[in-house]
Structure 1
Amino acid sequence: MRQGDGHGAGLLVTGTTSDAGKSVITAGICRWLARQGVKVAPFKAQNMSLNSVVSLDGAELGRAQAMQAAACGIEPAAEMNPVLLKPGGERTSQVIVHGRALGEADAVSYRDYTGQLREAALEGLTQLRKDYDAVICEGAGSPAEINLRPTDIANMGLARAARLPVLLAGDIDRGGVFAALHGTVALLEPADQALISGFVINKFRGAPELLDPGLRMLRDLTGRPVHGVLPWLDGLWLDTEDSLALSADRGEARPPVGEQTLRVAVVRFPRISNFTDIDALTVEPGVDVRFVTQPQELGDADLVVLPGSRATVADLAWLRRQGLTEEIARRAAAGLPVLGICGGYQMLAREIHDDVESGQGRVPGLGLLPATVRFAAEKTLGRSRGTAYGHPVSAYEIHHGQFDPEPGASSAEPFLDGYRDGSVYGTTWHGALENDAFRRAFLSDIARQAGRSFTPAADTDFAAEREARLDALGDLVQHNLDTDALWRLLESGPPTGLPVVPPGGAS
Structure 2
Amino acid sequence: MNGLLVAGTTSDAGKSVVTAGICRWLARKGVKVAPFKAQNMSLNSYVTREGAEIGRAQAMQAAAARVEPSALMNPVLLKPGSDRSSQVVVMGRPVGELSARGYHEGGRQASLLPVVTEALAELRASYDAVICEGAGSPAEINLRHNDIVNMGLARAAGLPVVVVGDIDRGGVFASFFGTTALLAAEDQALVAGYLVNKFRGDVSLLEPGLEQLRALTGRPALGVLPYAHGLGIDEEDGLRVSLRGAVRESVVAPPHGADVLRVAVAAVPLMSNFTDVDALAAEPGVVVRFVDRAEELADADLVVLPGTRGTVRALAWLRERGLAQAIARRAAEGRPVLGICGGFQVLAERIEDEVESRAGAVDGLGLLPVRVRFAVEKTLARPVGEALGEAVEGYEIHHGVADVRGGEPFLDGCRVGSVWGTHWHGSLESDGFRRAFLRRVAADAGRAFVPAPDTSFGALREDQLDRLGDLIEQHADTKALLRLIERGAPAGLPFIAPGAP
Mapping for residues 3-402 of structure 1, pairs under 5 Å: 3=1, 9-110=2-103, 111-243=106-238, 248-249=247-248, 251-402=250-401
- Aligned mates of 1:146, 1:250 — CA distance in 2: 37
3-state SS in 1 of match to 2:339: strand
Mapped to 2, the partners of 1:245 and 1:138 lie a distance apart of 21
Give runs of ≥4 in structure 1 deviating > 6 Å: none
Secondary structure at the aligned position of 1:491 is classed as: helix
Could you say what secondary structure the match of 1:218 adopts? Answer: helix
Offset at 1:33? 0.5
1:395-435 Cα deviation digits (max 9, x unpaired): 110011111123xx4xx101111100111000000000000
**Which amino acid in 2 is paired with 1:378?**
E
**1:66-89: CA deviation from partner (whole Å, max 9, x where unpaired):** 000001111100000000000011
1:421 aligns with 2:421: no
| Residues in 1 aligned to 2:332 and 2:398: alpha-carbon distance in whole angstroms | 28
CA pair 446-244 structure 1, distance change in 2 beyond 3 A:
closer
Say whether the 8 Å CA contact 1:250–1:282 is kept in structure 2.
no
Asked if structure 1 preserves the Cα contact closer than 8 Å seen for 2:38 and 2:149, the reply is yes
Gaps of 5+ in 2: none
SS at match of 1:243: coil
Say whether the 8 Å CA contact 2:36–2:120 is kept in structure 1: yes
- What is the DSSP-based 3-state SS (H/G/I as helix, E as strand, rest coil) of the residue aligned with 1:122? helix
Give the distance between the partners of 2:108 and 2:250, measured in 1 at CA. Answer: 39
| Code of the aligned partner of 2:282 | V
1:116, CA displacement in angstroms?
A: 3.0
State the superposition RMSD in angstroms: 1.0
The DSSP-based 3-state class of the residue aligned with 2:40 is strand
Distance 1:260 1:405 in 2: 35
Give me the whole-angstrom Cα distance separating, in 1, the residues matched to 2:39 and 2:413: 33
Structure 1 unmatched runs, 5+: 4-8
Q: CA deviation at 1:489?
A: 0.3
Aligned partner of residue 349 in structure 2, secondary structure: strand
Structure 1 residue matching 2:138: 3-state secondary structure: coil
**Contact 2:240-2:248 at 8 Å conserved across structures:** no
1:6 maps to which residue? none
Contact 2:8/2:137 (<8 A) preserved: yes
Paired residue for 1:471, among 451, 466, 469? Answer: 466
Q: Distance in 2 between matches of 1:197 and 1:335?
A: 60
Counterpart of 1:463 in 2: which secondary structure?
Answer: helix
Aligned-pair identity in percent equals 63
Contact conserved, 1:235 with 1:251, CA < 8 A, in 2?
Answer: no
Contact 2:17 2:233 in 1 (8 A): no
Aligned equivalents of 1:397, 1:195: Cα separation in 2? 40
For 1:185 and 1:492, locate their aligned partners in 2 and report how far apart those are by CA, in whole Å: 21
After superposition, the Cα gap between the structure-2 partners of 1:245 and 1:280, relative to the gap in structure 1 and judged at 3 Å, is closer
TM-score using structure 2 length = 0.97
Displacement after TM superposition at 1:253 (Å): 2.1
Report the Cα distance in structure 2 between the residues aligned to 1:144 and 1:315, rounded to whole angstroms.
35
Q: Say whether residues 1:494 and 2:489 are aligned partners.
A: yes
Distance 1:145 1:138 in 2: 16
Q: Within 2, Cα distance between the matches of 1:260 and 1:114? A: 52
- Native 8 Å contact 1:264 1:303 kept in 2: yes
Cα distance per residue 1:286-331 (max 9 Å; x no partner):
0000000111111100000000001111121111111110101111
On the 8 A contact 1:391/1:437 being kept in 2, the answer is yes
Whether contact under 8 Å (1:238, 1:279) holds in the other structure is no
Q: CA-to-partner distance for each residue in 1:445-494, whole Å, 9 max, x for gaps? A: 00000000000001100000000011111111000000000011011101
Shift of residue 270, structure 1, vs aligned partner: 2.1
